[in-house]
Chains A and B, each alone.
Chain A
Amino acid sequence: MTSLPLNDATGAVVVDQPRKLRQTRETPDKIFRGVTTGSGVIVLAIMTFVGLFLAIRATQALKKAGFSFLTTQSWDTNNFNFGIAAVLTGTILIALVAICVAVPLSTATALYITEYAPARMRKVFISVIDLMAAIPSVVYGLWGFFFLQAKVAPVSAWIAQHFGWIPIFSVKGVNSDTPISSYTLFTSSTLIAGLVVGMMITPVVTSIMREVFSQVPVGEREGALGLGATKWGVIKSVVLPFGKGGMIGGTMLGLGRALGETIAVYMIISPVFTIQPHILQSGAISVSSLIALQFQEANHFGLSALMAAGLALFLMTLVINFCASSVVARSRSGASS
């Protein structure tokens, strides 16, 4: 509220102060406020309980394991030798591969929709992308397991053969001289799991980026064009700087999704409980697939250990999401969302 400076009798400037308003609310209003506030409290409670109960359930295992929970690679709860070093690394690697796939694709698609596509195509594209965001993850898992695996394995083999000297591309049992007999070394790898998860998060990231790009002020765009910029010039100097916050935020939201993805990863990987930095090699693991894999056979203590792993995942996604929303909120383009 803007206040007008007024001159009082002595000529000094006084600023009009907002006055306190007294209002009495009627009973329906009180009930309305009470009910809605109550719902807010319930939602808050659910969220708190998620963290709280996971923590309570996890204490047993965490007490037993202590600090080694963060450094142990294996998952042998019967002999109290377990930890999340391998699963957490695997989760992050899969998510990073997914982000490397999703961000260029999403940026290209979002730019295409807002900058290049003819008006009629634009609507079709938006609908298709939004629909894809609603496709269940198990369908992506099916596609990855039965279709993509066989298609990617030769490419992995080729990369391993010719670029094996780069550490993350090296695969045991492959060198550039011997011909590759079978592709079993290359299926069920971090790369393939990451590709599938990347496909899953691309629609989500795309729609966030598209929202942001479509809000770029027309005046700035046309200003750049008027100064003689090419389309790429406009994108580079106006669209991308304006949308930077939304792009980072969208990417981080996608990363949060990718870290938590269960079923598609579970279907594709073959679990190994060692830190596996070779993304082309068969064998990987993630926290959520560990939980899905182990919870049926787990005894009371094993379940507690799984809860601890779940808690770690929960905290990790929470931190990333908070970072994402603060980045978006601080950026110029995030103000309206």
Chain B
Amino acid sequence: MTQTALRPTAPASATEVVDAAAVAPVAEKRRQTSGVRIGDLLTLVGALIGSLALTSFLATQLVPIHGFLAFFVVAYAVFVGIYSLLVWLDEPGPVVLDRVVAILVQSGAFLLVIALASVLIYTVIKGASAVWHPNFYTQDLTVTGSKDPLTTGGVMHAIVGTLTQISIALLVTIPLGVTTALFLSEVPGPFSRFVRTIVEAMTALPSIVAGLFILATLILMLGFDKSGLAAGLAITVMMLPIMIRAADVVFRLVPGTLKEASLGLGASQFKTVMNVVLPTSRSGLMTAIILATARGIGETSPVLLTAGYTASLNKNPFSGPMVSLPLVVFQLVKSPEPTMVARGFGTAVVLMVLVLILFVLARVVGAQDVAKKAARKKRRAALRARLSSLHLSIPGRHRSTPDA
């Protein structure tokens, strides 16, 4: 096995928010064992061509097949059959099974990616006509009739509503979630184990039930209006368990030796948490918050139940209906008018871009662990050294930039 064939395993992390470097170093590496032969490729191509030909014959001559999807399904079944036959001609039994499973697994994975990509691409294509108009971001839908062109009206009210509601949710979720996660990891005992079980059960709470809960308590019992506040609290109920679980995992990854060193030097538990646990897990915690936010932003049904629909801009979260982006999408696409549907798709694009931004942010923040920071510093130093050797050739550059 050559050195180039070595590759690291995926980090044995519990969730995506885990910093790889915070985990104990990976002891063993997995080796790449596969190789591709030209004959295998030829078998594959042959089976592909054969299946297409046979399915076309079937579809046009024997059994009429309606639609592309049906054709695809039949072609795939035929392909797997032909391929296993071809492999069987010159390989022993276990190898045939191995090849067929490989084909099934790989096509399954690519089918998923294609399907998921089609979700994104379809939405973007259908929404593209709406999102280019600047009024889409600066107006609400108050004066817009259902047949008005895309140059009037927009979803400003929904953007404002989403941001307001998510802010309310974050105001509650971050302090409550972080302290609860600290409770789970720093104050172990039967009671915290019980709370952890309950939090795990809470992640399964259907979003509509969260909405019903806020509807039952805040609106029906305490007599509040349907408002942005109610929607924010309903989203909080959804976000809390995600946040707590992620933060709990992050806190438990703080090396015990660090905490013990702090305690051994005579620091109190509070000081240890403030000066060791929280700083060590800062990036993981940020990632947990961002991922919970991304989930909270997409919730439709709690908002539907607790905030109501409105076409106008409402900046006051305490009274009156306040929509969010997913709810606007949901309402607009119910309209029979194509321009309204286009607006709905446009809103979905805005929502997805928001989620994407949060996601990329989470990745960037989550990647900021100590090892990577050190590597970056080293790279920067090397770059600076090279620049300073070029120093004279760059006019106007008299000293290297100070290290951030």
Interface residues of A (CB under 8 A from B): 25-26, 28-29, 31-33, 35-40, 42-44, 46-47, 49-50, 53-54, 56-57, 104-109, 111-117, 119, 122, 125-132, 134-143, 145-147, 151-155, 157-158, 199, 202-203, 206-207, 210-211, 214-215, 218-219, 221-222, 225, 230-233, 235, 253, 256-257, 259-263, 267, 288, 291-292, 295, 303, 306-307, 310, 313-314, 317-318, 320-322, 325, 336-337
Contact = CB atoms under 8 A, between A and B. Distances in A.
Contact of B112 (A202, A260, A321): A202
Contact of B108 (A105, A137, A292, A314): A105
B69 A154 contact: yes
Nearest to A33: B187
B89 interface: no
B66 A105 contact: no
Interface stretch (B39-47, B312-320, B352-360): B352-360
A35 B209 contact: no
Interface residues of B, number: 113
A-B pairs, 9 with minimum CB distance: A108-B108, A260-B206, A136-B298, A154-B67, A112-B109, A321-B204, A36-B183, A154-B66, A230-B98
Contact of A199 (B102, B119, B176, B179): B119
Contact of B66 (A130, A157, A306, A321): A157
Nearest to A219: B28
Given A39-B183, A256-B204, A307-B212, A132 B176 contact: no
Contacts, number: 310
Contacts of A37: 183, 187, 191
A26 B271 CA distance: 11
A interface majority secondary structure? helix
B105 A54 contact: no
Contact of B206 (A106, A225, A317): A317
A116 B108 contact: no
Given A54-B209, A136-B351, A232-B101, A155 B271 contact: no
A142 B73 contact: no
Contact of B330 (A38, A135, A138): A138
Contacts of B258: none
24 contacts: A31-B270, A37-B191, A44-B198, A49-B217, A50-B209, A57-B216, A105-B111, A108-B111, A108-B112, A134-B294, A134-B358, A138-B326, A154-B69, A155-B70, A158-B65, A199-B116, A218-B30, A221-B30, A231-B101, A260-B209, A267-B333, A291-B305, A310-B212, A314-B206
Given A39-B179, A108-B104, A267-B330, A47 B298 contact: no
Interface stretch (B12-20, B80-88, B133-141, B390-398): B12-20
A230 B97 contact: yes
A29 B268 contact: yes
A40 B192 contact: yes
A32 B269 CA distance: 8
A90 B101 CA distance: 34
B208 A291 contact: yes
B98 A262 contact: no
Contact of B359 (A49, A134, A152, A230): A134
A256 B204 CA distance: 6
A83 to B, nearest CB: 18
A112 B208 CA distance: 34
A322 B199 CA distance: 11
Interface string B8-44: 1110111110000000000011111110000000000
B400 to A, nearest CB: 33
Contact of A263 (B32, B268, B300): B300
Interface of B: 7-10, 12-16, 28-34, 65-70, 73, 94-95, 97-98, 101-102, 104-109, 111-113, 115-116, 118-120, 122-123, 126, 175-176, 179-180, 182-184, 186-187, 191-192, 194-195, 197-210, 212-213, 215-217, 220-221, 237, 240, 244, 268-271, 273, 291, 294-295, 297-301, 304-305, 326, 329-330, 333, 341, 344-345, 348, 351-352, 355-356, 358-359, 363
B345 A142 contact: yes
A207 B352 CA distance: 20
A113 B16 CA distance: 15
Contacts of A125: 109, 113
B205 A40 contact: no
A57 B221 CA distance: 10
B237 A263 contact: no
Nearest to B186: A36
Contacts of B207: 260, 262, 288
A136 B355 contact: yes
Nearest to B356: A131
A174 to B, nearest CB: 13
Nearest to A31: B270
Nearest to A289: B208
A53 B213 contact: yes
Nearest to B192: A40
